[in-house]
Amino acid sequence: MMENTLNMASSKPALASRLMAHPLVRIVLGLVLTFAAIPLTMIIAAKLVDKPYRIVWPQLLAAVLVWFGYRYYVGRIEKRQPLELATQGMARELGSGLLLGGGLVALTFAVLAALGVYRFGGVNAVSIAMLLPLAELVLVGMAEEMTFRGVVFGVTERSLGSKAAIVISALLFSVAHLPNQGVTVLAVAAIAAYGVLQAALYMKTRTLWACIGTHVAWNYCVSQVFTSTVSGHAASDGLLRGELVGNAMLTGGVFGVEGSLITLLLIAAAAAFWLRRAFAGKV
């Protein structure tokens, strides 16, 4: 009787270890530990500080907490060093990501302008207000890349391999945007293609900084350079005055340029290029 009790007691840690090692459990824990800081920070800030004083700092604070949350998850749950957030080479990878994201946006709007879909109307005066959205966009870029590429892709790749991880992480990334206003089949496909691009970029560089840079640059350039809607969220006045007019299949409709067929084709081409580079490095 005593021996059976001891055996049952000794089996509990083994069961807990097996549970913590399960990919789905790790993904859920990673999402919670990484993302939980965002709503908590915003709720506390709203309770303690009046709205006029809640500019920039809550988003930056939440971004720092997201960073700590992800590192805590990697260290305590995955029991490894977060090399994907290493500071060595960070500036280079972040800069490369910013250039890639900004370049994709510029190319997208250039093609839309050539097709007569984007009509340029002039340049607005440069203002410090154009930099204020950066705080929220940095938060979004960090949180989404750490969760979808760092957690979802990372855990799935180690369990099922790179190809399955690309598909699953890209699908979940697109599904997460379904509640956004004006979402369409084209928009879902474009965002899934963007998820594939980001996964391929992460596979090639093995750093989240490149992915974060691409994400931030894409959102910022669409909203604050070309004054266009980002994933159903209307932008305030940016650097350039212009509008998307014509067929919703090309303009993206209410969802914005990310719902455009042109965007889908360009992102898919970029994804194919980076996938080839990523898998070439594995041969």
3-state SS track over 32-50: HHHHCHHHHHHHHHHHHCC
Q: List, in sequence order, every beta strand (DSSP E) within the chain.
A: 118-123, 240-244
pLDDT digits (tens, 9 = 90+) for 157-179: 999 999 999 999 999 999 999 99
DSSP 233: B
pLDDT digits (tens, 9 = 90+) for 191-223: 999 999 999 999 999 999 999 999 999 999 999
State the pLDDT at residue 52.
86
State the pLDDT at residue 6.
46
What SS3 class is residue 22? coil
Q: Which long-range contacts (CB under 8 A, 24 or more apart) does 265-269 make?
A: 266/104, 266/107, 266/108, 266/111, 267/104, 267/190, 267/193, 267/194, 267/197, 268/193, 268/196
Q: List, in sequence order, every beta strand (DSSP E) within 67-195.
A: 118-123
CA distances from 251 to 126, 165, 192 (A): 26, 31, 18
Instruction: Tell me which residue has tokens 């992480």.
Output: 169
**Nearest CA among 198, 172, 203, 223 for reference residue 97:** 198
Handedness of CA 33, 91, 272, 203 (dihedral sign): negative
In this prediction, the residues of the chain whose per-residue pLDDT falls under 50 are 5-6, 8-11
State the pLDDT at residue 281.
61
**Nearest CA among 186, 222, 256, 194 for reference residue 106:** 222
Which amino acid, one-letter code, is at 164? A
CB burial string 120-156: b at 16+ within 10 A, e below? eeeeeeeeeebeebbbbbbbbbbbbbbbbbbbbbbbb
Tokens read off for 258: 């990310």
CA distance 228 to 242: 8
State the pLDDT at residue 12.
55
